[in-house]
Amino acid sequence: MTAVRTPAVFITGTDTGAGKTRISCALLLAAQRRSLRAVGMKPVASGSTWQAGALRNEDADLIHAHSSPPVPARALINPYTFEEPIAPQLAARHAGVEIELGRMQTCFQALADEASLVIVEGVGGWAVPFSDTMMQMHLVRALDVPVIMVVGIRLGCINHALLSARAIAADGCRLLGWIANRIDPETACSDEVIASIAGQLGVPLLAEVPHGLSVDRMAAIVDPALDPVLAGAVAGSS
* Residues known to be catalytic: 42
Q: Measured from the CB atom, is 34 or 211 closer to Mg ion? A: 211
The least distance separating ligand ATP from the CB of residue 99, rounded to whole angstroms, comes to 16
How many C-beta atoms lie closer than 10 Å to residue 32's C-beta? Answer: 17
Q: Measured from the CB atom, is 70 or 124 closer to Mg ion? A: 124
21 lies in the site for Mg ion, by CB under 5 A: yes
Q: Measured from the CB atom, is 96 or 212 closer to ligand ATP? A: 212
66 lies in the site for Mg ion, by CB under 5 A: no
22 lies in the site for ligand ATP, by CB under 6 A: yes
Q: What angle do CA 25, 66, 48 make, to 5 degrees?
A: 80
* Residue 181 binding result from Mg ion, ligand ATP, none, given CB thresholds of 5 to 8 Å by partner type: ligand ATP
Among 40, 124, 129, 146, binds ligand ATP (CB under 6 A): 124
Please count the residues of this chain forming the interface with Mg ion, following the rule CB under 5 A: 3
Q: Measured from the CB atom, is 20 or 74 closer to Mg ion? A: 20
59 lies in the site for ligand ATP, by CB under 6 A: yes
The least distance separating Mg ion from the CB of residue 121, rounded to whole angstroms, comes to 6
59 lies in the site for Mg ion, by CB under 5 A: yes
Residues that bind Mg ion (CB under 5 A): 20-21, 59
